[in-house]
Amino acid sequence: MTLDPLLFGEIDPPQRLLMGPGPVNAHPRVLRAMSADLLGQFDPEMTGYMNQVMALYRPIFGTANRWTMLIDGTARAAIEAALVSLVAPGETVLVVNFGRFGLLLTEILGRIGARIESVEAPWGETVPLDAIAAAIERTAPKVVATIHGDTSTTMAQPLDGLGDLCHAAGALLYVDATATLGGMDIAADRWGADIVTGGLQKCLGGPSGSAPMTISDAAAEHIFTRRHTEAGIRATGTVDGKGPRIGSNYFDLAMIMDYWSEKRLNHHTEATSMLYASRECARVALGEGLEARYARHAAAGRAVTAGLRAMGLTVFGDDRFRMTNVTGVYIPDGVDGERVRAAMRDHFEIEIGTAFGPLAGRIWRIGAMGYNAMKHKVLITLGALEACLRAEGFVLPAGAAVTAALEAWEA
């Protein structure tokens, strides 16, 4: 089929309720902020907004780190920037792997040329701290890398005490908090994490395309040993670090930190509209209050879980370590999971998520986060799922899901 570009109309997407593992619907305030006029990248108003973003994200990351900023790109851009800037080829990295995104860390590290060790748990579980401690002692890593909340399994890895283990062994700790930033307690300083990265498109209720991150002084010092200022912007007397040059120009955190510092040493043209979005995401979160926001996400997660169980469905994974914002649920025997997802979209304009790897075709993933972690959106989703399951011939108690969810929300 040949498409005539002259016939393409203005973009007018359906008004779907995105109740999967992300992205979610962006907060209207964030969308409005993105429509503001562009500024030059060295305009004092623009650099002022950059400084504001740094201040706004420190409490969200639970840190006093100076180097708290944005990477232009999706959450994966920040992951790659962190790893390529921390890790040189041949250096050992211990990956805490309990799902798809732990495997992503090994994928990126493999391309960097790192020596990869791993400590693992089955999908649906997390890795015990004593197992990580034993792996650190066995492998003597330069960096320990972990996911906080892995949406592929809906599990959240406990991180208290991990930084102490890493630092005692002379290692730095990297944490990917893409799926939990703004929805669960992120405590970079308490955890002893050296770099934590996130994204906007989940609990922060923004669009994908900008990735907040925070960097400890120890990690910054290490990264600056690898500083190599590109030829076109070098000033007279510039001195490079003595370590190996970072293997990416775009994701070179040493140069990006120089751009976000008082030097304003040009590295790239800041994605202005995404910076506006990031700024407003943080303002919304802090305006609500972080503790209240975390409680809202926890209430939404309880409600989803209670509603699913009231339908007679089996929730996936270990209840002790469940993410508050994404819930996995087994697809009932004899039910076509993709047909139910299609019916949810076609009849109710609601999207729920499928799954990856060993869970593909076995579970759905239902998210309630950011602007969508609201009581009425959870109830609408559960009611729609009940109707779609009935249409597939699955027998379940009428209305029980909504009643159970209401009770759980208030618990």
Which residues are annotated as part of the binding site?
365
Q: How many helices (H) and strands (E) does the chain have?
A: 14, 13
Radius of gyration of the chain (CA): 22
Bridge-partner residues for 212, per DSSP?
70
In 3D space, the residue among 70, 290, 314 whose CA is nearest the CA of residue 180 turns out to be: 290
Both tokens of 175, joined, read 């944490």
The candidate with the shortest Cα–Cα distance to 154, out of 20, 59, 285, 308, is 20
CA distance 162 to 166: 6
Tell me how far apart the alpha carbons of residues 61 and 214 are, in angstroms, rounded to a whole number. Answer: 7
- Name 315's bridge partners: 329
Cα four-point dihedral sign 172, 178, 180, 181: positive
DSSP state of 244: P
* Residues 99/317, Cβ–Cβ less than 8 Å: no
Q: Please list the residues that pair with 97 across neighbouring strands.
A: 120
CA distances from 318 to 38, 156, 157, 297, 314 (A): 46, 10, 11, 18, 12
Q: Residues at the annotated binding site for substrate?
A: 365
How far is residue 89's CA from residue 239's CA, in Å, rounded to a whole number? 23
Length of the chain: 411
SS3 of 312-357 = CCCECCCHHHECCCEEEEECCCCCCHHHHHHHHHHHHCEECECCCH
**Helices 100-112 and 75-86: angle between axes, nearest 10 degrees:** 50
Q: How far apart are CA 110 and CA 97, in angstroms?
A: 14
State whether residue 135 is helix, strand or coil: helix
Q: What is the DSSP letter of 234?
A: P
